[in-house]
């Protein structure tokens, strides 16, 4: 009987009793990001532990706001930011 350990980077884990809502969320995420279910699960696990040692962790807490503004709204916001970023040299004397 061969009881070799899997090679580094090729570990397999079986998850039992996954709630249907979690299974659906995983499948939805994989479909949305055009990933295999396995890659979506690996990515989520890496993010949960701080990026899996591949640099800065990605955060998705503001993703729901992406693409929520019209071009006009975004231009208005950018214009307001430009005004706020202007430095008045007289205030720094």
What is the model's pLDDT at position 55? Answer: 60
Between 52 and 73, the more confident residue is 73
CA proximity to 40, closest of 24, 56, 53? 24
What is the model's pLDDT at position 1? Answer: 47
CA proximity to 60, closest of 49, 44, 38? 44
Element (H or E) spanning 49, and its range? none
Tell me the pLDDT tens digit for each residue of 12-35.
Answer: 889 899 999 999 999 999 999 999
């Amino acid at each position: 009987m061969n009881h070799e350990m899997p090679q580094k980077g090729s570990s397999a884990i079986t998850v039992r009793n996954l709630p249907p809502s979690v299974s659906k969320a995983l499948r939805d995420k994989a479909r949305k990001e055009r990933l295999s279910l396995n890659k979506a699960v690996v990515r989520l696990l890496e993010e949960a532990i701080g990026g899996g040692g591949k640099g800065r962790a990605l955060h998705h807490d503001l993703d729901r706001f992406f693409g929520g503004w019209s071009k006009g709204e975004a231009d208005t916001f950018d214009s307001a930011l430009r005004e706020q970023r202007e430095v008045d040299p007289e205030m720094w004397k």
